[in-house]
Structure 1
Amino acid sequence: MVDSKSVGLTPSLLWLMAIGSGLVVANNYYNQPLLALMAKDFSVSESSISNIAVLTQIGYAFGLLFIVPLGDMLRRKRIILIDFVFIILSLMGMALAPSVNWLLPLSFLVGFTSVIPQIFVPMAAEMASPEKRSSAIGTVMSGLLIGILLSRVVSGIVGDFFGWREMYWAAAAAMVILAVLIAIKLPENTPTFKGSYRALMQSLISLTKTQPVLRLAAFRGAMGFGAFSAFWTTLVFHMEGPPFHDGPAIVGSFGLVGAAGALAAALVGKLSHKVSAYQIVLFSTLIMLASWIIFYFGGGTYFGLIIGIIFIDLGLQSMHIMNQSSFFALNLGANNRLNTVYMVSYFIGGSTGTYLAAQAWKAYGWTGVVAVGISFTLLTLIAHLGYDKRINR
């Protein structure tokens, strides 16, 4: 057996982690451009079908909480391959679902099992040299965010031309291929935690209480992803109506625009030695705030949406990379658990943003969605300005 520390982070392994992260996390977001098709297929309202997206994100948060910490306790490769079995079964269940009542719990299971990227991220951070840690995290996270964005492109096109069920059959097939590659290429690791599962879970509370850097990163991440999710969940409904009257394929294609912002953010890891983390996070948050101002004044035009999407994706990804770099740099030998606390907060924020945006859309339309997004982003900015320098001085 080859240990991950003896192998080091080779370029091919880093790319496998990045591409694998994108493919797995995409399972959580195929539903967003397909929500309108699902609503029509099952004759339910847009606001009720939005619960599928909410439950997927809640499921992801639970998977992060109960599965990812095991990466400090058990051999990660074994955890990952077992998890792939359940990912494939849940995706096949989505494709076969006879009613919305089946889709809801299955959506939760898709999210619950699709947490492998958050095992890859701390693994890449551990295997990379200290000077390349931020860059390695940036590469894997760029793969993850591009997967989120391009999933909308793919699912929109497949949904328009073939149907929403076919998208889930294709996703299941992709997971089978990826599982085979992981089984062949991924090295093993030596677990760092020697206690029981109960003690492992209790240590999450201890880490949260004792690490202010982690708490601040978790709050910023939650608020940032809440704003991001508010936009992407309601975009399909916004573009169905006037002045656009567009279908899922067009809505999904906006993921290509967001991918440009995600790719640009990959450079953040390389800038971290020249520009302070405080300045990068501040600038990233201001970019996200600017995106919502653009969405408010230009959200009724393609140009306004394109510029706003580039800004919101660039801002979120840049902040996300620096958030994770900040707590991985603590070198506590608990990277999976630190990442668990952060990512559980992140996706609770995302599911909250999704829920509030759906309610705001129902009550106030696009203006309500913008108000939700601005509120989340302002909370991010207030926390950063108020606590970052105090914690890191």
Structure 2
Amino acid sequence: MTTYPASPRSDLGRPVIFLMALACGVIVANLYYAQTLIDVIGPEIGMSAGMAGLITTLTQLGYGLGLFLIVPIADLFENRRIVLASIGVTVIGCLAVAASQGPASFLVASIVTGVGATGAQVLVPLASHLAAPERQGRVVGTVMSGLLFGIMLARPVANFLAGSLGWRWIFILSAIAMALIGGALWLLCPQRLPRGDMRYGEALASTFSQLQQHRVVRMRAFYQAMMFAAFNLFWTAAPLALIREFNLSHAEIGAFALAGAGGALVAPVVGWLADRRLTRPTSLVGLAGLSIGFLLADWTVAAGSLIGFTVMAVMIDAAVQLSQITGQKLIFSIDPDARGRINAAYMTVMFVVGALGSVIGSATYEAGGWSASALAGAAIGGIATLCFLLFDRGASASH
């Protein structure tokens, strides 16, 4: 097995890139399977309605802990081993979720699953390291498209399997899939051994200092936190609109989500644009496109156009991808030896702030229906666009 130094000049073949994208999607999907099944899981394991919200919260908390505690060590230890270890932890977590008989065991297993799922955020900078410089944006874009597909497809897949096999089988099948993917990564994924000239505590301490040291990291983390908040807002409020405005069933909502996932297909194209040093205009199109997408989504729902609403879902997802891929292309270009810590700081800010979008989505929908949610999403995009125009000052320009 070939071992690459910290800044390899090799390149990845398409099968390995596809495998890494698939791995990211399958790993991160574990964060979302239970979200749409709370009403099914809660009663079976003896969890009260008041506690049921902890199913999602603690899984996400575990993921947040992993972002801070695990992702930075990609700058210290051989990366493939970290990914394989995280997959192993996630497999154990999924099997424990499937076997749980009470609230306590289920919630502990959910935290373990969330911590392990952060292996996906080690794979993304690893792909950046192993890609040839002139293809770095496209490779990161392809791998990130797998991650977004995992997020988008998790809910409809969970609904389908829960209805046909039962909710426990979702996590059993996920554990099997991850074990198979882990074996494939062990065989096919190149190793990367970083210089590792600091201790673990020093790596953790320097993680958020990356935000202080690098203005581009601060700006891109802010943009993407706003984009991710709007993304979560949309996918919290849109199903409510589909039920109440269009009278769709859960299965039909799953089909809507599948169609919306088409926005992930833009990721390789965005990576190609980033490789052509078009990061600044691509970023602006993404930020402005988010606001436009929400405003048009408001209009399409008011007009009763389900097709138009679906098109806007694709547009909003594509806008999020435009910002995400260009952002990671820029931050991964700063310091090859600190990519793990930079990515950890970037993703933690994005995740913590972005998680508020779900709260905003449900609150605005209950207060004023889909129109209020859509206007809130457009406002979030508008704030990000305004900050880009006023304060970016070249931070999003390719160098």
Q: Give the TM-score of the pair, scaled to structure 1.
A: 0.90
Aligned pair in 2 of structure 1 residues 227, 197: CA closer, same or farther (>3 Å)? same
Q: Is 1:66 the counterpart of 2:62 in the alignment?
A: no
Q: 1:389 is aligned with what amino acid? A: R
Q: Within 2, Cα distance between the matches of 1:371 and 1:62?
A: 32
Aligned pair in 2 of structure 1 residues 189, 272: CA closer, same or farther (>3 Å)? closer
Aligned pair in 2 of structure 1 residues 165, 319: CA closer, same or farther (>3 Å)? same
Q: Is 1:338 the counterpart of 2:342 in the alignment?
A: yes
**Count of residues in correspondence between the two structures:** 391
**1:288 aligns to what?**
290
CA contact 1:233–1:354 (8 Å) conserved in 2: yes
Q: Is 1:381 the counterpart of 2:376 in the alignment?
A: no
Q: 2:263 is aligned with what amino acid? A: G
Counterpart selection for 2:326 from 289, 300, 322 = 322
* Bigger mean CA deviation after superposition, 169-178 or 149-158: 149-158
Identity of aligned residues (%): 28
Unpaired runs of 5+ in structure 1? Answer: none
Q: 2:331 is aligned with what amino acid? A: F
Superposed displacement of residue 148, structure 1: 1.5
* Bigger mean CA deviation after superposition, 325-334 or 113-122: 325-334
CA contact 1:8–1:127 (8 Å) conserved in 2: yes
Secondary structure of 1:325's counterpart equals helix
Superposed displacement of residue 72, structure 1: 0.7
CA contact 1:224–1:316 (8 Å) conserved in 2: yes
Map residues 153-232 of structure 1 onto 2, 5 A cutoff. Answer: 153-232=156-235
* Bigger mean CA deviation after superposition, 136-145 or 330-339: 330-339
Q: Is 1:347 the counterpart of 2:351 in the alignment?
A: yes
CA contact 1:156–1:253 (8 Å) conserved in 2: no
Q: Within 2, Cα distance between the matches of 1:154 and 1:191?
A: 37
**2:374 aligns to what?**
370
Counterpart selection for 1:149 from 148, 152, 161 = 152
Aligned pair in 2 of structure 1 residues 275, 199: CA closer, same or farther (>3 Å)? closer
Aligned pair in 2 of structure 1 residues 266, 363: CA closer, same or farther (>3 Å)? same
Deviations 1:12-47 (A, max 9, x none): 2212111111111111122333344446756855x8
Q: Is 1:2 the counterpart of 2:2 in the alignment?
A: yes
**2:267 aligns to what?**
265
Deviations 1:133-185 (A, max 9, x none): 11111111111112222222312211232332221221111111111112222
Q: Within 2, Cα distance between the matches of 1:54 and 1:278?
A: 35
Aligned pair in 2 of structure 1 residues 20, 206: CA closer, same or farther (>3 Å)? same
Q: Within 1, Cα distance between the matches of 2:207 and 2:25?
A: 26
Deviations 1:283-310 (A, max 9, x none): 1112211221133233364223301210
Aligned pair in 2 of structure 1 residues 33, 235: CA closer, same or farther (>3 Å)? farther
CA contact 2:287–2:381 (8 Å) conserved in 1: yes
Secondary structure of 1:229's counterpart equals helix
Q: Within 2, Cα distance between the matches of 1:54 and 1:210?
A: 31
Secondary structure of 1:116's counterpart equals helix
Q: Within 2, Cα distance between the matches of 1:219 and 1:90?
A: 31
Secondary structure of 1:98's counterpart equals coil
Q: Within 2, Cα distance between the matches of 1:48 and 1:294?
A: 37
Q: Is 1:305 the counterpart of 2:309 in the alignment?
A: yes
Unpaired runs of 5+ in structure 2? Answer: none
Aligned pair in 2 of structure 1 residues 104, 288: CA closer, same or farther (>3 Å)? farther
Q: Is 1:84 the counterpart of 2:87 in the alignment?
A: yes
Q: 2:154 is aligned with what amino acid? A: S
Deviations 1:209-262 (A, max 9, x none): 110001001111111011101222344444444531412x32222232123211
Aligned pair in 2 of structure 1 residues 103, 288: CA closer, same or farther (>3 Å)? farther
CA contact 1:295–1:308 (8 Å) conserved in 2: yes
Aligned pair in 2 of structure 1 residues 361, 37: CA closer, same or farther (>3 Å)? farther
Aligned pair in 2 of structure 1 residues 392, 147: CA closer, same or farther (>3 Å)? closer
Secondary structure of 1:267's counterpart equals helix
Secondary structure of 2:204's counterpart equals helix
CA contact 2:144–2:267 (8 Å) conserved in 1: no
**1:52 aligns to what?**
55
Aligned pair in 2 of structure 1 residues 392, 120: CA closer, same or farther (>3 Å)? closer
Q: 1:198 is aligned with what amino acid? A: G
Q: Within 2, Cα distance between the matches of 1:57 and 1:15?
A: 26
CA contact 1:360–1:372 (8 Å) conserved in 2: yes
Map residues 18-33 of structure 1 onto 2, 5 A cutoff. Answer: 18-33=21-36
CA contact 2:284–2:385 (8 Å) conserved in 1: yes
Q: 1:358 is aligned with what amino acid? A: S
Deviations 1:115-136 (A, max 9, x none): 1221111111111121111111
Aligned pair in 2 of structure 1 residues 372, 113: CA closer, same or farther (>3 Å)? farther
* Bigger mean CA deviation after superposition, 123-132 or 369-378: 369-378
